[in-house]
Amino acid sequence: MNEIIAGFIRALDLMASLDPELIDITLRTLMISLSSTIMAALVAVPAAAAIDSREFRGKRFIMNIIQTLYSIPTVLVGLFVFLLISRSGPLGSFNLLFTPAGMILGQSILILPLVTGFSLTALRGVKPELRDLARSLGATEYQVMMKVIAEARYAVMAAIILGFGRAISEVGVAIMLGGNIRGFTRVITTAISLETSKGNLELSIALGIILLLISLMVNTALNHFQEK
Amino acid sequence: MNAWVILMNVIELSGIGKSYGDLKVLEDVNLKVREGETLGIIGPTGAGKSTLLRIMDLLERPDAGEILFHGENVDNLKPLEVRRRMGMVFQNTPVFRGTVTGSILYGPGVRGERPNESEVKEVLELVGLEGYEYRKTHELSGGERQRLALAQVLINRPEVVLLDEATSSLDPISRSRMEEVISGLDVTVIFTTHDLLQGQKLADRIAILNHSILQTGSPREIFTKPASRFVAEFVGARNILSGRASITGDGISIINCDGINIYSSEKARGDVSATIRPEDITVSWQRTDSSALNQLRGRVVAVRDSGSLQQLEVRCGGETLTVHMTRKSLHDMGITTGSSVWIEFKASAVHIIR
């Protein structure tokens, strides 16, 4: 028990003194997860709009698949992207394995279904009358689609934030594709996992607190957008 | 303007049909909309009014028939181009998020245009929303939304304005304000309503719709000469009698109704209906020596007080006729329920409907 309390005290000390390694890991984590969220959103939101704006056979099926993939195990995505970017894989020549870029790719793929699915729900929440209004006012089909996204912007934002929350808190993809290389691909979750097994509780606890704080901020933002 | 332009139909519908599953909403709709006129499409709820407007705005494709826009089949035109020359105000007036100005600039925006501030101001003034530029659209009342919807349309300078029940959910003050704006528009206006009085007030011409167009004409024509029993009932015509008509040697028609014969100066044969306006019927104690061909004996079965006019129900044979009398003459004559009276009306007051 004393050990844990001592760990907490030292952790707060690390945070208060802006420990360089702590700052380094935190900033890298934010950079990687934000990048993967932006990448996923750039694909997911237009994809959701495309699915939403037309009726076609198999639409229900696609939506079922997307929803199933919400809870795909992170290690499975890690394995899949590992096979893609490992030296002998189809993207092997880009040397992405054990780099931040590889992690960003993996996390993007991981959260893509989540962001797509929730964006789709967000767009479906826009009243059909508004599409007719836009169309009637002379909008092209593309302009109608953009208007629908604009009308659902808060709910779409919430979907993106949800994706960020999953990206920053996952460990499977980060460790399999990043390799937890100190000063290069080490992020909060992989650092906690390693430092805890090494018995270095103070850094783990400090990183844990930071992760919780980030989660708190993300959720506050999420609530803010969901209330709009 | 050349004469042929004036005669031109802006929109011409022929044989339009539309079903949703098994539900037939429109069937063989034929309608010509003249340039510059205000046309009221009137019909009961569920008659297909909204669907018809949506078809005209090319938001919905009909299952059958064709649409001509300025004489050209819209199948040969780009829907977007046609739609950009029209504007529609929707029944439940959806509004975009944001400010009033933002909403008004949407139409010009998608056309790649950017009207200046004074144009926005002008159109807001036109609909009576001056000073609303930066109001949030979601804070507007129902009436204000309707007017915003109209402003959104008018900024694009459409040739045709389509209004779907544009005043149905408004309080009387907002309604008359909106009606003022509508009657001030100098473009072709097509509006739907289930409110006859409004139709009569605003329209140059009325089309009665109940899945198909039952009658078109001036408001006066529709009210005084309904073309069918449905129209007659819908416009609230009283004294609709049905019977078998034949033409007499004098060239007038005689209709055998339930227990009575009615003369009409309009020619008709076979099964018909006829209407007589309650104000065209006079009441007396005795049979009089008058030019009226129709003189019938009957019994007053009810007297209703509707303000200065009294409404009598007079039973003649198997038919009951409604007659209007002033309170004074009713009082002077001493007519009460149960009185046995004579009623008379001219043959020319009997309008035959099919």
Rounded CA-CA distance B19/B17 in Å is 7
Q: Across the interface, do B57 and A130 touch by the CB < 8 Å criterion?
A: no
Mean pLDDT of B19-30: 95
Rounded CA-CA distance A138/B158 in Å is 11
Q: Across the interface, do A137 and B97 touch by the CB < 8 Å criterion?
A: no
Q: Across the interface, do B80 and A138 touch by the CB < 8 Å criterion?
A: yes
Residue A78 to chain B, least CA–CA distance (Å): 41
pLDDT band at B103 (very low <50, low <70, confident <90, very high): very high
- Measured CA distances, A112 to A42, A44, A59, A60, B76 (Å): 10, 6, 17, 18, 42
CA torsion sign, A18 to A21 to A26 to A27? positive
Mean pLDDT of B279-287: 92
Provide the pLDDT for residue B170. 79
∠ CA B73-B78-B81, nearest 5°, is: 105
Of B59, B92, B152, the CB nearest to A135: B59
Domain that holds residue A117: 1-227
Contact list in A for residue B90 (CB cut-off 8 A) is 129, 132-133, 136
Q: Which of residues 86-125 of B touch A (CB under 8 A)?
A: 86-88, 90, 92, 94, 96-97, 106-107, 110-111
User: Which H/E stretch holds residue A224?
Assistant: helix A201-227
Mean pLDDT of B262-269: 92
Mean pLDDT of A14-37: 95
Q: Is the pLDDT of residue B45 over 50?
A: yes
Q: Across the interface, do B83 and A135 touch by the CB < 8 Å criterion?
A: yes
Provide the pLDDT for residue B1. 44
Q: What is the predicted ipTM?
A: 0.80
Mean pLDDT of B96-121: 95
Mean pLDDT of A52-57: 88
Q: What is the mean pLDDT of chain A?
A: 94
A–B interface: beta-carbon pairs under 8 A: 49
Overall number of domains in chain A: 1
pTM: 0.81
Provide the pLDDT for residue B7. 60
Q: Is the pLDDT of residue B4 over 70?
A: no
Mean pLDDT of A158-181: 95
Mean pLDDT of B166-179: 83
Reported as a single tens digit per residue, the pLDDT across A96-136 is 999 999 999 999 999 999 999 999 999 999 999 999 999 99
Provide the pLDDT for residue B59. 95
Provide the pLDDT for residue B37. 94
Return the amino acid letter for B266: E
Contact list in A for residue B57 (CB cut-off 8 A) is 136
Q: What is the mean pLDDT of chain B?
A: 91
Tokens 């056309």 belong to which residue? B111
Provide the pLDDT for residue A43. 97
Q: Across the interface, do A134 and B106 touch by the CB < 8 Å criterion?
A: yes
